[in-house]
A and B are shown apart, each in its own frame.
Chain A
Amino acid sequence: MSDDPRSGADRDFERRARAWFEAGVDGLDAGTRSRLNRSRQQALAAATGERRASGTSWTGAAVGALAASVVVAVLLWRGAGEPTSPPLDARVAADEAPGQALEVLAANEDDLRLVAAEEDLEFYAWVEAAAATAGAGES
């Protein structure tokens, strides 16, 4: 037994209603059809443009991430290959001459002032020694 409560008369009515409706759809004027066509094209253009723009933005993000990775890799590589400032003790130990060690210390203005003061002390020590030698000769 079917659970469809529609009678034969119901089905006849459905057929007629569908035919009337289809006739109305077919009878739409050219202006209405043209406006519907424009609406459809606008909807498709908006959706297609959006999806393409979305694809472009993902591509741009991927390119940006790749570029950033390359920059970081280069910086890390350069950092590993060229140590910028080895420990001072190591360099002093490597250079046996004290003068060279002082040159290493003289890396900035403060260091240069220290070197000058040390040279002055040597000068004063020499003057004192020279005076003592002359005093000894006179006496």
Chain B
Amino acid sequence: MPGLPEETRLDARAADLDRFLASVERRAFRIARIALRSTDDAHDVVQVAMLRLAQHYAGKPGEQWAPLFYRILHNAIRDLQRRQAVRRRFLGWLPGSPRPDDETAEVDPLEQVADPQPEPGERLSQAEAMSRLELALRDLPPRQFQAFTLRCLEGLDVAATASAMGCSTGSVKTHYFRALQNLRARLDEVYP
């Protein structure tokens, strides 16, 4: 916007960024919550992604924000998962530390969802359906998880998904198709 004062241009850019972040924050939180199994950790990684995008990429064209944001988000999720794995491994050696089967350890509410094993064809509620989808998503390999959440749930096209994942469009198609087949194998008998 040439000709506008610097202050006005910054305010307009901040308003655009505000709208973009508001449009993705809830989906991003749900994805992070599924991947990390912790509400607080999900909030943390979403905040990190917002902050980094705002600080480093606010000057980029608006159409680049979505792949950049999700790339930062998924990198933050992966980093936190690695730290969690290392922490679990080392804390497990300390006396008095919570064991994976310890009743005092943090309980994942999703894992407490009842598994009534409905008959094939039986329809469950939407909330139950989502819980089962989340459990199935967690069991996917990381790249398939990224491809499915970005393409199907976040609605990015193949090129934007490739940019967010840092790989080729061909790899995206492969990961996505395998994720789709894996999820259908887990859920189709319940949700034909």
Contact = CB atoms under 8 A, between A and B. Distances in A.
Contacts of B6: 55
B26 A36 contact: yes
Interface residues of B, number: 37
Contacts of B39: 32
Given A21-B133, A40-B22, A51-B10, A5 B126 contact: no
A46 B54 contact: yes
A39 B46 contact: yes
A80 to B, nearest CB: 39
A43 B69 CA distance: 13
A10 B22 CA distance: 30
Nearest to B134: A24
Interface in B143-176: 152-153, 155
Contacts, number: 99
Nearest to B53: A43
Interface in A1-45: 5-6, 9-10, 13-14, 16-21, 23-25, 27-28, 32-33, 35-37, 39-40, 42-44
Given A39-B43, A40-B21, A17 B133 contact: yes
Contact of B29 (A5, A16, A19, A36): A36
Contacts of A19: 126
B21 A43 contact: yes
A6 B180 contact: yes
A105 B47 CA distance: 79
Contact of B58 (A23, A32, A39, A47): A47
A36 B33 CA distance: 13
Chain A interface SS verdict (over half): helix
B130 A21 contact: yes
B165 to A, nearest CB: 18
B50 A23 contact: no
A43 B10 CA distance: 14
A5 B10 CA distance: 45
Given A16-B191, A23-B130, A39 B54 contact: no
B110 to A, nearest CB: 11
Contacts of B21: 40, 43-44
Given A36-B43, A39-B47, A42-B51, A24 B30 contact: yes
A85 to B, nearest CB: 51
20 contacts: A9-B184, A13-B184, A13-B188, A17-B183, A18-B153, A21-B153, A23-B126, A24-B127, A24-B130, A32-B43, A37-B22, A39-B47, A40-B21, A42-B51, A43-B54, A44-B14, A46-B51, A46-B55, A47-B54, A50-B55
Interface of A: 5-6, 9-10, 13-14, 16-21, 23-25, 27-28, 32-33, 35-37, 39-40, 42-44, 46-48, 50-52, 55
